[in-house]
Structure 1
Amino acid sequence: MKLPFLNNVLAKREPSPSSSITLKDFTMVYENDAKYKNYALQIAINKLADALALCEFQTFENKKPVQKDNWYLFNIEPNKNQNQSEFWSKVIYKMVYDDNGALVIQSKEGEFVVADDYDISEFAFYENIYSNIVLPGDFRLPGTRKESDVFHFKLHNSEVKKVIDSVYDDYGKLIAGTIRNYNRGNAIKMKLNIGAIFQQFKNNIVTKEDGTKVTEYDQVMDDMFDNRFKGIFTDQDSVTPMEEGLNLDPISATPGNTKSGSVTTRDISNTFEDIRDMVADAFGIPRGILKGDTADNEGMHKLFVNYPVRSLADNLQSEINRKLYGKNEVLKGNKLKIQTNMINTHDPVEFANAGEALLRVGAYSPNDILRKLGEETIDEDWAKVHYVTKNYERTDNLKGGDETNEEKSNSKSNQN
């Protein structure tokens, strides 16, 4: 099944608009100001993309799971140049970084491609119109596309990125100040005392190789700062010349995070942890997931899957079903379903009792259990069937049990 506009002409090669900003340009422009924020955002995007890549995009026909073209596109190869993991990673990246969300176009061959840039005209009672669509490789699609012709994925809260940007305005300045304090606190700072004897060289005039005349005092000082100190100092280090009779004392020491008051990298990392926690909270991801904590790993993993991942999967699933299949087909049981429970891994031994219980009540077929364990399914009819191995009955359909030996004996005596 394909989106309805597949018979339209393919894209032609044209240069992108000069206003379009590539990821490389974005990094170059904002590298100094937003690199810590972008790093925290990228961690969150990677976590969500990795989780989504582990999900199975199940496709159904007449309410029965099938593995045909759409299943292959969503689970293996959305297009010739990307696998499933790369494709969904870019989708999520665009959902976060692009204010308008991620736009996915289907090619004439049925492949899915994420647009690099586009414009959108929104309406209340008519379909939105997408124009100036630029695909990877600077391919610009001619004409426009209607809402029903594309997949348009947006975060439930499209303001998340703006809120993070706003809060980071202050944190970015705080990090810059912390780094400056670190460099200043750990740099070499020396005072060069200039005695009265050396001051006498100001009266001696010498001629330099280029013919200019300077005092011997200036010549020695220039040589000292330009040449002799180079082997000792770096860009952050400094020497201050002080004439005899002058003295410089610090007004107050710069506070640090150690008993001695010195500044360490912990100041910087602690501030970054605040930014990382802020991003985690914005996306509903447990803070320990982004940090890589192992304490209560199982509990955090469940929260991660049950909230941000399932919410994201539902968002994608709804958009795909309403555009690719449509109302009539979905009501018939022709649809796509993203199985987030495939993210969890199960130990065969630990899962044995639960698997046996799920099998005997008819909840899972043998193949369903194999999928849970990450094993290959069996291409046999009996492995696809659901079994009920216990005599479960409804309360309004209960039947009497077998007679006991005593009851049988009494019944036989009565007959005699």
Structure 2
Amino acid sequence: MRFFDWIKDFFGIEQSTVYLNQQAITTQEVQLAVRDFAICSAINLISGAISKCEFKTYSNGNEFKGDEYYLWNVEPNKNQNSSQFIQEFISKLLYYNECLVLDINGQLIIADDFTQTEYAVFENIFSNVIRGTMKFDRSFKMSEVLYFKYCNNDIQQLLCNLMTGYNNLLNMAIGKYKRSGGRKGIAKVDKTPSGDSEFQKKVDDLFNNRFKSYFEAENSVIHIPKGVEYIEQNGEGNKKSTSDLVDISKIIEEEFDRVAQAFKIPPALLKGDIADIGKLTDNFLTFCIDPLVDLISEEINRKRYGKKVFLKNSYLKIDTTCIKHIDIFSISEAFDKLVASGGYSIDELRIKAGDIPLNTDFSKKHWMTKNYTDIQTVKGGEE
């Protein structure tokens, strides 16, 4: 079917006047990966933050650096350092809503794929476990692995369903913006020579080739055969409007807001706003990072330490204070108060500030100024 005949057949009319781009506009769909970009931005923000945390290990209530500390903070396996491992682990947990970590000969290995068989009373079984090109030829019990599940509902599926509506609105807004700046015109074709095959070929070539080159070129001249009249349609409606761009930006911003809401991230923080960054970071740590690290540390403690050892005050704790950048000059007054009140030793605060401890007798002690004393020892009156 020739292009011109196809246009007339589509509109179901025998008119000789056809508006260009009308069919292209109705079928045009603009597909943008805004949802995936927003999700990846959120996951990278969370995984990058947790990779900065220190996985502290304690033995009988005292901080202790041993094999377990080295495993989580330096080298979990031969192919990854701790930052790479934690970022991959958190990314899989958030993106797929679950993550499986194996202990293979003292190395922590993240599974790429697995099958879980669930039971009500007995331990769940993990089979068909794959890492890279390797498939493990055995099954694993729940007590033999670290299994993390982010939430009961699949956040990916929920976001996908929610974003479908936003994508439709986005496609409509982009289509409106493109139409507002497009070239428009009316072509009138004389009916009388329509049976001429040579004339039909010229019309086909005009609509299929020459008009396309004419509209795409910055400067161009087109020859229109006899029997065809083209009238350019210019006016205010053809100019691009700032409001159209604002509509597109608002829809994209709405998608980022919904993704941030799903991952409990302050929307302004995900979009890169720097106003009130301190409050945004505190909100991010409280509602997003802290619940996530609690989930991780609980699974590690119950599987790698166990009830008896844990109750003897030996456990792993994830320190999230490492996430925020600390300027020692801005915290000098608070530093002094913490030492003077006996809350922390000098070495403890030096470590939190990112400096090395002095490891001296006085730096390990807890000090208290004379301003702090037991209220019961204070005497009033002349005494």
Normalization by structure 2: what TM-score?
0.79
Q: 1:234 to 1:157 in 2, by over 3 A?
A: farther
How far does residue 340 in structure 1 lie from its aligned partner after superposition? 1.1
Q: Tell me if the contact between 1:77 and 1:84 (Cα under 8 Å) persists in the aligned partners.
A: yes
Deviations 1:153-180 (A, max 9, x none): 1114544333222212222222233333
Report the Cα offset of residue 386 of structure 1: 2.7
| Residue 48 of structure 1: how far off its partner (Å) | 0.8
Equivalent of residue 101 in structure 2, options 79, 89, 104: 104
- The residue number in structure 2 matching 1:300 is 280
- Equivalent residue number for residue 84 of structure 1: 82
Q: Which runs of 5+ in 1 are unaligned?
A: 1-31, 204-214, 408-416
* Range that drifts further, 218-227 or 117-126: 218-227
Instruction: Please say if residues 194 and 241 of structure 1, whose CA atoms lie closer than 8 Å, have aligned partners that are also in contact.
Output: no
In structure 2, distance between residues paired with 1:294 and 1:233: 43
Matches within 5 A, 1:31-110: 35-99=33-97, 101-108=98-105, 110=106
Return closer, same or farther for 1:118/1:391 CA change in 2, 3 Å cut-off: same
Decide whether aligned partners of structure 1 residues 189 and 122 sit closer, same or farther in structure 2, where only a CA change above 3 A counts. Answer: same
Pairwise CA RMSD: 3.4
1:233 is paired with a residue whose SS is helix
Contact 1:193 1:242 in 2 (8 A): no
Matched, 1:151 2:146: yes
When residues 400 and 224 of structure 1 are mapped into structure 2, their CA distance, relative to the original with a 3 A threshold, is closer
SS of corresponding position for 1:119: strand
Secondary structure of the corresponding residue to residue 289 of structure 2: helix
* Amino acid in the other structure paired with 2:112: D
Give the counterpart of 2:168 among 152, 173, 178.
173
The share of aligned pairs that are identical, in percent, is 33
Question: What do the CA deviations read for 1:205-239 (whole angstroms, capped 9, x no partner)?
Answer: xxxxxxxxxx321232344345434433359xxx9
**Rounded Cα–Cα distance in structure 2 between residues aligned with 1:242 and 1:284:** 66
The answer as to whether partners of 1:365 and 1:387 remain within 8 angstroms in 2 is yes
In the alignment of these two chains, the number of paired residues is 346
Which of 188, 193, 205 does residue 183 from structure 2 map onto?
188
Looking at structure 2, the residues matched to 73 and 254 of structure 1 have their Cα atoms a distance apart, in angstroms, of 63
Residues 187, 230 of structure 2: 8 Å contact kept: no
CA gap 1:33/1:187 in 2 versus in 1, 3 angstroms: closer
Render the CA deviation track for 1:253-292: whole Å, top value 9, x for unaligned: 7998647xxx43x333221111110111122211111111
Distance 1:230 1:163, change over 3 A: closer
Q: Counterpart of 2:201?
A: 219
CA distance in 2, matches of 1:222, 1:377: 82
Closer, same or farther: CA 144–57 of 1 in aligned 2, 3 Å = same
The match for 2:215 among 229, 233, 250 is 233
Q: Does 1:289 align with 2:269?
A: yes
Larger radius of gyration between Structure 1 and Structure 2: 1
Contact 2:124–2:141 (8 Å) recurs in 1? yes
**Distance (Å, rounded) in 2 between the aligned partners of 1:257 and 1:39:** 26
Contact 1:58–1:65 under 8 Å retained in 2:
yes
Counterpart-to-counterpart distance in 1, 2:342 and 2:175: 65
Stretches of structure 2 that go unaligned for 5 or more consecutive residues are 1-29
**Residue in structure 2 matching 1:321, options 281, 298, 301:** 301
Quote the residue 2:333 is aligned against: 353
Asked if 1 retains the 8 angstrom alpha-carbon contact of 2:180 and 2:239, the reply is: no
Q: Show the counterpart of 1:17.
A: none
8 A contact 1:321–1:330 mirrored in 2: yes
Q: Partners in 2 of 1:165 and 1:200 — Cα distance?
A: 54
Matched to 2:143, the amino acid is S
Q: Which residue in the other structure is 2:15 paired with?
A: none
2:112 equivalent among 103, 110, 116: 116
> Who is 1:131 aligned against?
127
Amino acid at match of 2:125: I
In 1, Cα distance between the equivalents of 2:199 and 2:104?
76
Aligned amino acid, residue 60 of structure 1 = Y
For 1:312 and 1:58, the matched residues in 2 are separated by 16
TM-fit CA distance, 1:295: 1.4
